[in-house]
Amino acid sequence: MALHQFKQNWISPEEYLAGELVSDIKHEYIDGEVYAMTGTSLNHGRIVSNVLAGLHAHLADTPCEVFSADIKVKAQNNFFYPDLIVDCQNNDGGAYVTESPLIIVEVLSKSTRKRDQTLKRLSYQTLPSLQEYVLIEQDFVDIEVSRRGNHWQPEHYYLGDSLYLAALDLHIPVEAVYARVQNEDMLAFSQAVPE
C-alpha cells in the first residue's frame, strides 16, 4: 500500500494509537509523523491472498496465526501495517498491535519499495521474535527472503523455485505465490507451460 503524509506535526504514539481506533482509514506512524495508507492493486491482493492461503493451511492446529494488513507491528517507535504477519506468541484477542511477529511479508510496489527495503527492514530486524522478512515483487517475479539465522542476507526465489520459510518449515511453489498475477513474467511462464 502506498503511504501519503497525513500530518506534519509530531504526535505521540499514544495519540496515534487512540486516533487509529476511530479512524476510517489506516495510518502508519513513522518517527512521530502519521502517513495515510492508500489502496492496493489487484496483483497485490492476489499475491497476499495466495500467500495467506498457504500459510493459513500450514498453521492449522499450531499456536501460530497469520494476519493480513489489519494488525499493527510496533518496531522501535514506529507502527506499521505489514501485508502479512505470522505471530506465534500473541494470544491477546483484543490486541491491535503486536511486537512478536515470527515472519513479516511485504508486497512491493513502486510507491512502497524504498521504504519496505530500508526503513521498515531496519525497524523490523530489531524485533527479537522476527526470524524472516519476505519481500515480494508484484510487477515481476522475484521473492526475497532475509533470515535472522543467515545474518539477514537476502535469498531470492524465482519461477521454478519453491519459496522456503525456514521458521515454519514450509515450502510454497513460486508459481502458487503468483497464481493469477498478471505481469510479463507470469504471461511468459504461462505461455511456456504445456497444457
The C-alpha angle with vertex 99 and arms to 98 and 105, in degrees rounded to 5, equals 80
3 state DSSP class of 174? helix
pLDDT of res. 195: 60
What is the helix (H) or strand (E) element at residue 13, kind and residue range? helix 13-22
pLDDT, one tens digit per residue, over 119-176 is: 999 999 999 999 999 999 999 999 999 999 999 999 999 999 999 999 999 999 999 9
- Across residues 43-62, what is the average pLDDT? 96
pLDDT exceeds cutoff 90 at 190:
no
Q: Which fold has domain 41-192?
A: tt1808, chain A (3.90.1570)
pLDDT, one tens digit per residue, over 26-46 is: 999 998 999 888 888 999 999
pLDDT, one tens digit per residue, over 76-127 is: 999 999 999 999 986 676 688 999 999 999 999 888 888 889 999 999 999 9
